[in-house]
Amino acid sequence: MGAQKKRAAAAAAAARVSEDPDDLARQPLQAILLADSFTTKFRPITLERPKVLLPLVNVPMINYTLAWLEAAGVAEVFVFCCAHSKQVIDYLENSEWFSQPNFTVKTIESHNIISAGDALRLIYEQNVIHGDFVLISGDTVSNMSLTQALQEHKERKKKDNNAVMTMIIKKSKPSPITRQSRLGTDELFMAIDPNTKQLLYYEDKADHSKGTICLDKMLLAENPSISLHNDKQDCYIDICSPEVLSLFTDNFDYQHLRRHFVKGLLLDDIMGYKIFTHEIHSSYAARIDNYRSYDIVSKDIIQRWTYPYVPDVKFCGNRATKLERRGMYRALEIEQSRSAQVGSFTVIGYGTKIGSNSKISDSVIGEGCTIGSNVLIEGSYIWDNVIIEDGCELRHVIVCDGVIMKAGAVLKPGVVLSFKVVIGERFVVPAYSKVSLLQQPTVHDSDEELEYADNSSGTVEFSSIQGTADQSNGEMTSESSEAHKPKLGTGGVGYIWSICEGGQEEEWRHSVAPIPEDKLTELSEAMDDDQELVTQDRTALSTSGELISDSNASEGDDNEDSKDDSVYFEKEVEATFLRAVEENVKVDHVILEVNSLRLSYNMTSADCAGAVFYSMMKLAIKTPHSSASELQQNTANIITTWQKLLKSYLLEIDEEIEIILKFEEMCLESAKEFSPLFARILHILYDKDILQEDAILRWADEKEGADESDKVFVRQSEKFIQWLREASEEED
Amino acid sequence: MPDTQVLVNDFLNKLKKRKIEGSQATARQTAELLRSVISQQRVPYTNQAGALIDAVKAVGEQLIAANPVELAVGNIVRRVLHIIREEDLSLTTAAIGGLNLSAVSDDENDDDRDGDSTLSAAAVAAAARSTLRPPSLQTLLEDTPVSAAVPQTSSSGGDSEGKTADKSSRSRKLKHDVIEAVNELIQDIVTCHEQIAEQAVEHIHQNEVILTLGSSRTVLEFLFAAKEKKRSFRVFVAEGAPRYQGHLLAKELVARGLQTTLITDSAVFAMISRVNMVIVGAHAVMANGGVIAPVGMNLVALAAQKHAVPFVVLAGSHKLCPLYPHNPEVLLNELRSPSELLDFGEFSDCMDFGSGSGSPLLHVVNPAFDYVPPKLVSLFITDTGGHNPSYMYRLIADYYSADDLVVQRRATAGN
């Protein structure tokens, strides 16, 4: 009878996959689960334990993903392990996942893989994927049903062989104050064809400050309608055709799934591969990318959005937990003092002891923890076997296994304590600091390449990281280890990691703590500043969302945009120029840099000329000078030194006129000191062959009809112009 | 044994992941599973009933823990345990009757089966019980001398040793009888709809207006049976938010030619004055006559009470639970996903934990069940007929043995 049942179940599973007679569709559904995120956002915890095994509401994350895959009808999962692969494999072997009927889990292990792209290339070489597969990372929580998305994918694939991937997306409204407070990820812009659901554009690093995105004109030309979204969330669940793997192999430079692969496919119009989207509505899907999304997803789980993957359902061998009123989850054998107050939306693990007068709210407490009396725990994640002595205070922190907090210790918001750290008596750990028994590796660079390069660190021993860091050239400042050794109070064990450079800004974005008040007001002020921009965004993007061609962008707003842009551009150029002056960078290099800025801001060479000139004059005025003649001398010097730079942008007469206009503007507004020197500097510029006489004359002619107030400088340089006129006449 | 283990694990998985919906399906599958457990279980020469009970308890404990909210699982486990005890009792009665008390004839035995225990049979039963299983609290209180004799008989086992040949045939017979009885139980579960529906004409009269909430197969069959008997009546269906199973019910009723009106749950109070009878299904019926039913039922029951409309609950006997409800709104409830109530995307800006104090101001609670207290229920219709809520405890005593209320293997089990 057992066999019969099994067969029936298998048949049901097969039927669920697809009913069409296609041979390919008969394949049982496979999945690739990447048990490594190839990032370092969860450091220092991930130095000791792989991210997929970190407990999420007291259950290792990978269990959520596997449970979902199993429920979604996937028959075979390849778990790709890289960092800490041994731990992952050991865990899986001891779990129930290897003994499930109709669901096989196989592990693929490799240590020298540094990106998702490499992992997929390796899997392709192994030749284990035979049909459509689900690509997911081991930190994704979902309860969606794959049936419909899979069906759509297969149907599209039948019609169009180039439809290689279906990306699952979900609506997620940006909050009015901040767009990234929910998952802590960058804002994501997508352009989707509303009829076919084809993905046309994907940009996850949109510049917040600019408030603009650039769409290729061809997109608008080729598609009758496009809907632009900033309210979609990428669930990082993809249904892929087997071609995807070969694509990765063909393009060996693809590393990141989104930044390289998706964008690569979207830009590449030779092969014509297409990516489609499938939006889910009622079901849940989210990926844990950083500490903030860890916090958010945990809370979503406690609020039961991920049902049936919630603590009181034993979906993967978790402990029996009972749900009580006000969202309190309590496992068995908890010792709780009568006077302890356990607030709503709290999970308390098996065998935990809570002392008298302790207050716990919105938190997750692991198994076997001992919490003393008068302890305050708020919005925190405390893993297993943690000892918290009397009078400690924890607000919005993550505390890993085996940590000991001596009496009276205080953790400020955003603190992360890695495994087995000991915090001394009455020690206050400052906000957003990360404490680990391991020293901080000395490479801090948010640069992506480096992130890839050192993410394998999980497998490499700690000391060797430091070794490589030291070997790599002197550009990286290897900090002395004394710097990491502030004592953690009396009896404290561990190192406080210093926050990496520029990280201060980033810390609050990705931490478990809610965004502090001042940052919120800052953000909302920033929003007010470009209010128009925001309203424009709202009306055009989030509400109706459907742009018919490019008719929607209103004139006024365009100006606003470009003005805004040029201000930024000017600032950038100035910064580049000043740096060049300070560091004696070669002119050619400066030209290169300015050119790249020009491209990225989409500016004309006239703008460049203006900006470069502006920065030169700024420099001149900043150089100390006592009199007007000295200033003139300075200016002349600077112009002589950097004339090559300026000249490279003066291709046509228009640009020269732009310079004069710019100069005029400066004299009127920002650098009034120049105004008496206008004519003389104009002369210098003429002498240095930067300005041709045509340009000056054209400028003068243009000004002829202007207001009196505008003509101040034309007047001033009247003699010079006169002289130029005569000279040219003579030549004729 | 490994074969059953696979089946058990499979079923456990399904229960844990909430893949089986509806108490009837759960009950039937549980019974089938237990049947195969029993048939696979190897029975020792002595104390066969004990071995079977242990085996069933071992599996039952896991099953109940897998989904504590689905009470039907526990009910069926207890029913099967009760069946084993009963069958064992009747066999022992026969054996002891044949050997020692020759005066007790076979008809006595039959009588015992029928439940009309005569005085002598009761005495025999008490004796048999004491030889075969540990004493229950009841026997301890009622009959001290008999229970005092228990350790002797069970430890020495003297009287059973001499009759090994007889035993082996008896054990085979016991297993066979138990499986027979479990088959009957499965049959009962499968046919409970028809059994209940048979009584429909006695309750639904011409031109009546019936109100129901949500969807229940039992209710559907019940109404349809009345319709088949040429009763003409109208049905109001409350849609049963947030799962809206009432919509499905309305569809089915219309497909079978019944005049149907669909209303929202909130309109129940407005419509109740026009209703002659409320007929609803239940998730489980507790020992005190309280009902665990789809959410919204308490509202309907209160409305019915206010307007003195009879509130009739249809429940197959597998839904009778021998437990008393303690804090039923929470402990016997399943909180489902909030996404059934509102769209996550639309409300995700309210779930913003990143700002403010870190805890969201919006909480969504989506309980699956309501508890209707017994005083609001006018009548239960089970497959054995109509009963008053206050009679439930008696019905439960028929189906369950008091020793099985807590399905847990004793730590010292396996004597």
pLDDT of residue B170: 64
Residues in chain A with CB shorter than 8 Å from the CB of B331 are 322
**Cβ-defined contact of A178 to B363 (cutoff 8 Å):** no
pTM: predicted TM-score of the whole model, two decimal places: 0.71
Which of B36, B337, B359 is nearest residue A379 as measured by Cβ atoms?
B359
> Across all residues in chain B, what is the average pLDDT?
80
- A23-68 pLDDT, tens digit each: 444 578 899 998 887 777 888 888 888 889 999 999 999 999 998 9
Distance from CA of B201 to the nearest CA of A (A): 39
Q: Which residues of A575-598 are buried (b: 16+ CB within 10 A; e: fewer)?
A: ebbeebbeeeeebeebbebbeebb
- B149-163 pLDDT, tens digit each: 434 433 344 444 444
Residue B115 backbone dihedrals phi, psi, to 5 degrees: 100, -15
Residues in chain A with CB shorter than 8 Å from the CB of B352 are 175, 181-182
Distance from CA of B206 to the nearest CA of A (A): 43
Residues in chain A with CB shorter than 8 Å from the CB of B326 are none
Residues in chain B with CB shorter than 8 Å from the CB of A361 are 359
Distance CA A598, CA A605 (A): 8
Q: Searching chain A, which residue's CA lies closest to the CA of residue B13?
A: A315
Distance CA A449, CA A39 (A): 11
Question: Between vectors from CA A96 to CA A95 and to CA A99, what angle results, nearest 5°?
Answer: 130
- A510-556 pLDDT, tens digit each: 777 777 777 777 766 666 654 444 444 444 443 334 444 343 333 33
State yes or no: pLDDT of A445 exceeds 70.
no
Order of all β-strands in the sheet with B369-372: B284-285, B291-294, B369-372
Neighbours of A505 (CB within 10 A): 9
- Please enumerate in sequence order all residues whose Cβ is within 8 A of that of A230, keeping only pairs 6 or more positions apart, or say none: A174, A179, A187, A188, A189, A537, A541, A542
Helix A653-668 vs helix A678-687: crossing angle, to nearest 10: 150
Instruction: Please state, in angstroms and as integers, the Cα–Cα distance from residue B147 to each residue in A118, A307, A630, B138, B160, following that order.
Output: 73, 50, 119, 10, 18
**Cβ-defined contact of A515 to B355 (cutoff 8 Å):** yes
* pLDDT interval class at A483 (50, 70, 90): very low
Name the token pair of B130.
């004491």
Residue B5 DSSP code: H
pLDDT of residue A37: 75
Helix B2-16 vs helix B23-40: crossing angle, to nearest 10: 160
Residues in chain A with CB shorter than 8 Å from the CB of B330 are 323-325
Distance CA A94, CA A87 (A): 11
Please provide the size of chain B in residues: 415
Distance CA A23, CA B221 (A): 42
pLDDT of residue B377: 95
**What mean pLDDT is predicted for residues B218-244?**
92
State yes or no: pLDDT of A381 exceeds 50.
yes
**Cβ-defined contact of A178 to B355 (cutoff 8 Å):** yes
- A185-230 pLDDT, tens digit each: 667 788 888 888 888 888 876 555 556 677 777 778 888 888 888 8
pLDDT of residue A625: 75
More confident call, A667 vs A149: A149
State yes or no: pLDDT of B138 exceeds 70.
no
Residues in chain A with CB shorter than 8 Å from the CB of B335 are 304, 307, 323
Pick among A168, A181, A381 to test the B interface (most B CBs inside 10 A) = A181
State yes or no: pLDDT of B147 exceeds 60.
no
> Across all residues in chain A, what is the average pLDDT?
76
* pLDDT interval class at A134 (50, 70, 90): very high
Exposed / middle / buried, residue B412 (Cβ in 10 Å: 0-12, 13-18, 19+)? exposed
pLDDT of residue A403: 92
Instruction: Please state, in angstroms and as integers, the Cα–Cα distance from residue A177 to each residue in A299, A702, B316, following that order.
Output: 20, 47, 55
Pick among A74, A98, A142, A182 to test the B interface (most B CBs inside 10 A) = A182
Residues in chain B with CB shorter than 8 Å from the CB of A379 are 357-359
Q: Searching chain A, which residue's CA lies closest to the CA of residue B17?
A: A315
**Could you give the percent of chain B with pLDDT greater than 90?**
40
- Please enumerate in sequence order all residues whose Cβ is within 8 A of that of A477, keeping only pairs 6 or more positions apart, or say none: A442
More confident call, B85 vs A455: B85
Q: What residue ranges in B30-171 does DSSP mark as E strands?
A: none
Q: Tell me if residue B163 falls in helix, strand or coil.
A: coil
Q: What residue ranges in A91-222 does DSSP mark as E strands?
A: 104-109, 133-137, 140-142, 163-171, 189-192, 199-203
Q: Tell me if residue A639 falls in helix, strand or coil.
A: helix
Contact assessment for residue B368 and residue B294, using Cβ atoms and an 8 Å cutoff: yes
Q: Are strands A285-287 and A140-142 parallel, antiparallel or unpaired?
A: antiparallel
Residues in chain B with CB shorter than 8 Å from the CB of A292 are 354
Distance from CA of A558 to the nearest CA of B (A): 29
- B247-267 pLDDT, tens digit each: 999 999 999 999 999 999 999
- Please enumerate in sequence order all residues whose Cβ is within 8 A of that of A17, keeping only pairs 6 or more positions apart, or say none: A25, A27, A28, A29, A73, A150
B contact set with A (CB within 8 A): 3, 6-7, 9-10, 13, 16-19, 36, 65-66, 330-331, 335-340, 343-349, 351-360, 363-364, 366
Distance from CA of B182 to the nearest CA of A (A): 17
- Please enumerate in sequence order all residues whose Cβ is within 8 A of that of B318, keeping only pairs 6 or more positions apart, or say none: B23, B24, B27, B72, B75, B76, B79, B188, B189, B192
State yes or no: pLDDT of A73 exceeds 80.
yes
Per-residue HEC secondary structure of B292-359 comes to: EEECCHHHHHHHHHHCCCCEEEECCHHHECCCCCCCHHHHCCCECCHHHCCCHHHHHHHHCCCCCCCC
Neighbours of A729 (CB within 10 A): 8
- B324-333 pLDDT, tens digit each: 888 777 677 8
Which of B16, B353, B355 is nearest residue A520 as measured by Cβ atoms?
B355
Which of A181, A282, A320 is nearest residue B355 as measured by Cβ atoms?
A181
**Cβ-defined contact of B358 to A513 (cutoff 8 Å):** yes
Which of A306, A327, A396 is nearest residue B358 as measured by Cβ atoms?
A396
Instruction: Please state, in angstroms and as integers, the Cα–Cα distance from residue B279 to each residue in A143, A673, B254, B263, B331, following that order.
Output: 35, 93, 17, 15, 26
Instruction: Concatenate the DSSP letters of all residues of A498-519 into one string.
Output: PPPTTHHHHHHHHSSSPPPHHH
Distance from CA of A398 to the nearest CA of B (A): 14
Which of B10, B354, B359 is nearest residue A515 as measured by Cβ atoms?
B354
Residue B179 DSSP code: H
- Please enumerate in sequence order all residues whose Cβ is within 8 A of that of A268, keeping only pairs 6 or more positions apart, or say none: none
Task: Give the CA diameter of chain B.
Answer: 84
Distance CA B68, CA B88 (A): 29
- A653-671 pLDDT, tens digit each: 777 787 788 777 777 776 6
State yes or no: pLDDT of B217 exceeds 50.
yes
Which of A172, A180, A345 is nearest residue B345 as measured by Cβ atoms?
A172
**Cβ-defined contact of B351 to A284 (cutoff 8 Å):** no
**Cβ-defined contact of A345 to B331 (cutoff 8 Å):** no
- A598-656 pLDDT, tens digit each: 777 777 777 777 788 888 887 877 777 777 778 888 888 888 877 777 777 777 777 77
Residues in chain B with CB shorter than 8 Å from the CB of A324 are 330
Which of A9, A143, A281 is nearest residue B345 as measured by Cβ atoms?
A281
Distance CA A133, CA A276 (A): 15
Question: Which of A499-508, B63-72, B369-378 bottoms out in mean pLDDT, i.e. has the lowest?
Answer: A499-508
State yes or no: pLDDT of A377 exceeds 90.
yes
Which of B335, B353, B356 is nearest residue A296 as measured by Cβ atoms?
B353
CB contacts < 8 A, A to B, total: 134
Instruction: Concatenate the DSSP letters of all residues of A373-433 into one string.
Output: TT-EEES-EE-TT-EE-TT-EEES-EE-TT-EE-TT-EE-TT-EE-TT-EE-TT-EEPTT-
**Could you give the percent of chain A with pLDDT greater than 90?**
12
**Cβ-defined contact of A323 to B336 (cutoff 8 Å):** no
Closest by CA to A241, choosing from A156, A170, A169, A168, is A156
Q: Which of A328-332, A693-697, B359-363 has the highest mean pLDDT?
A: A328-332
pLDDT of residue B106: 44
Pick among A282, A288, A312 to test the B interface (most B CBs inside 10 A) = A282
Name the token pair of B245.
């199973």
